[in-house]
A = this chain, B = another copy of it.
Amino acid sequence: MKKSELIFDGRFGIEKENLRVNYFGELSLEKHPEVFGSRNQYITTDFSESQIEMITPVCNTVDEAYDFLENINNIVMLHLENELLWPGSNPPILPDEDVIPLAVYDDIEKEQYRKYLALKYGKKRAILSGIHFNFSFSDELLRILYEESDKIKTYEDFKDQLYLKVTKYFMKNRWLFIYLFGASPVFHESYMKQCVELSTEKKNGGCTSKGMQSLRNSVCGYRNSDFFFLDYRSYYKYKQSVSRLVDEEKIKQDSELYTAIRIKPLNNHIEYLEFRFLDINPLFATGINQDDLKLIHMFAIYFAQLEDFDYDEEQQVTAGINQDISAQSLPDASLIANSETTENIYSLGLALLNNLNSYIELETINKYSDDRVIQKSIERLKTIEKTYSSILKSSIDEKDYISFHLSQAKYFLEQARDYSFALAGFADMELSTQLLIQSAIKTGLTIDVLDREQNFIRLVNPQDHHAEYIKEATKTSLDKYSQVLVMENKLITKLVLAEHGINVPTGFSIAEKKTAIKLFKQGDLPKELVVKPNTTNFGKGITIFPYEYSEKELIEALDFAFSEDNMVLLERFQSGKEYRILIIGDEVAAVIHRRAANVVGDGMHTIEHLVERKNESVLRGKGYRTPLEYLQLGKSEIDFLAYQQLTIDSRPAKGQRIYLRENSNISTGGDSIDFTDNIHASYKDAALQAAKALDVQICGVDILIEDISKPATPNNYSIIEVNFNPAIHIHCYPYRGTKRNIGDKVIKLLFDNKEKF
């Protein structure tokens, strides 16, 4: 591949610290939620027990990392009990220093380090939360750049030098990012006393000063109190300069060096860069605008091709001063442009952004096309009202500091609840798979999407590396191939179930249409009949005659069934309602009744209108990406309405339920209604016995039951099908009734019998 096609390639990751609060906006003093376990790679604690840390895996694009953060964020919000995620860098209502809990670890060294930090910086400062953005160039790009270089250095040294150059440019110009991304202009009066006292504007418990962009990146933020010189001339020298700080006991360990950009090594060479200047932005549910990450990425690409320079002590001091200015100033504030001149934030920033823009425009392929990212930043620089801090200040002004943050937190939670079935970045996959991935994130399993189109994923326990391959959420290692094939064949399934004394529809199979017609003419077919193909799914090719039928109707039904398979089953129709009993392992995980696509009249509107209205629900969509599917008004529905002497223009009476289809499949717009706790236990037993007879762990048992309140007898129910690939989303998000978390059950079954993690 060519360089121009690779410059946007890289590896990206996001980490976010986030405080938990109660509904009064007070820092939570509760333990870290147990549901996430103690060794979750995505969800853990940071400095404080009340501070959740979210960590995305390494991703191939900014969007992918952002989406993953959104998913973690949603999962965390949805699993907090009577708590909210505090949507900002600056803390909520804080108790006294000594009451703020430190994070609890098994590791005594970790605990002691936190005690040391608490003492040195103060807990209130230490719980200031932020976002870290991790980035590295793709190896392929680095290799090409190395090939183009003079090759005097080794590849590894070349790479170090490149990352050092990028770091230096970022360090030198970090004031711009702090200014542009600053989103912590106001803080609560319960924050550190000296900072409250420094504030010039105080109102309703909120403290700020004119021009304040980012408390967190200011002198009141979490940073080293002294200026530390670092030697950027080579990675070796850099390490030496850091070691010196440790030797001189200025810092205890590398991680106490709170630089705006942290250099992350692997095997003694720089592996990636961590950008640490990002505030949690209360305007965004995730705490970050993904365009801001893209801007950083573009600058990294841009800086990488600039001339190298010597980032000496003077320049480092200057950059520090510039940071302090930009963190709490208006755009007309003067920055030190070089040792002799000053220039204001606006003009210096504009120059940088324009240079970036000119460079990026030269590149043939711009992944972040349509100029939106750079242009929006330029606008923010030009118009003070468009900065995050201005928007935040005026929003806080309308309410007060605590109310504003709480209302944002609640709004984000509401949104997460409404779309809790959806998983960002996985919307092209089936909902059942998305739900399983949600459970995997919550549990801390590593997720590899192996084939998106096939909904084929791999989950790995990061502790013992045990891997599970899963297709379409329920095709797993738990089931034996032969038993899946048994279930795929309705005739064999019936045989096995009948052998085990389980009720199945009486009937027989035919290979030729004429056999059925002959039997019909002889009067040897059941009066109420079901005609279905031997081996298909989703109700395709099935006709039900719950009433007397004509030879013509039978022939049509046969043609329909034979179009799906060359073996067709003729079964006596069992009266009753159909339920789907989902078996996971040796338990009934859920029971639903599927009601055929329908609308309920209001005495005013047409069926067409009622259908449109019902389809407006966010729960409905197309192709198994949502909990329910759109109702349709195609030929089947219109025919079925006509059979009831109705058209799409009919206006049903108030409360009158009109069915649009005979079959109750969710895929054709049916409603799912949870019955897990409302069905006689004997039917659950029958379904479990069926699963046991078929020797399967995961299956969906379709059962016709005359009366769910009465116990099963040899005549009042019939298992009509056992599905080896049952959808799980219909149980997780039923149209009515209790939601059942099936994803967790599948994960538990897959991983619990293995080594613990």
Contacts and interface: CB of A to CB of B under 8 A. Distances in A.
A482 B471 contact: yes
Interface string A174-192: 0000000000000000000
Nearest to A509: B451
Interface in A477-502: 477-486, 489, 491-492, 495
Interface in A565-603: 566-567
A470 interface: yes
A81 interface: no
Say how many copies of this protein the assembly contains: 2
B450 A489 contact: yes
A494 to B, nearest CB: 11
A471 B485 contact: yes
B489 A483 contact: no
A266 interface: no
Given A1-B524, A450-B495, A495-B450, A484 B482 contact: no
Contact of A456 (B453, B470, B489, B566): B489
A476 B482 CA distance: 5
Contacts of A375: none
A694 to B, nearest CB: 9
A584 to B, nearest CB: 15
Contacts of A480: 476-481
Contacts of A483: 469, 477
Interface string A437-478: 000000000000011011010000000000011110001111
A695 interface: yes
A456 B695 contact: no
Nearest to A511: B453
A330 to B, nearest CB: 51
Interface string A680-703: 000000000000000100000000
Contacts of A566: 453
Contacts of A482: 468-471, 475-477
- Tell me whether chain A's interface is mostly helix, strand or loop, or mixed: mixed
Contact of A451 (B476, B479, B491): B491
Contact of A477 (B454, B456, B481): B481
A752 to B, nearest CB: 17
B492 A451 contact: yes
Contacts of A724: 481
Contacts of A486: 469
A695 B480 CA distance: 13
A456 B567 contact: no
A183 B459 CA distance: 70
A451 B484 contact: no
Contacts of A1: 524
Contacts of A453: 566-567
A750 B599 CA distance: 53
A117 to B, nearest CB: 40
A430 to B, nearest CB: 15
Contacts of A485: 456, 469, 471, 475
A717 to B, nearest CB: 25
Nearest to A484: B481
Name the residue in A453, A478, A482, A491 with the highest tally of chain B Cβ atoms < 10 Å from its Cβ: A482
A477 to B, nearest CB: 4
Interface string A380-415: 000000000000000000000000000000000000
Given A480-B479, A481-B475, A482-B468, A456 B524 contact: no
Contacts of A695: 477
13 contacts: A451-B489, A451-B491, A451-B492, A456-B485, A456-B489, A468-B482, A469-B482, A469-B483, A470-B482, A471-B482, A475-B481, A478-B480, A481-B481
Given A453-B567, A456-B489, A477-B483, 7 more contacts: A450-B491, A454-B489, A469-B485, A469-B486, A475-B482, A477-B480, A477-B695
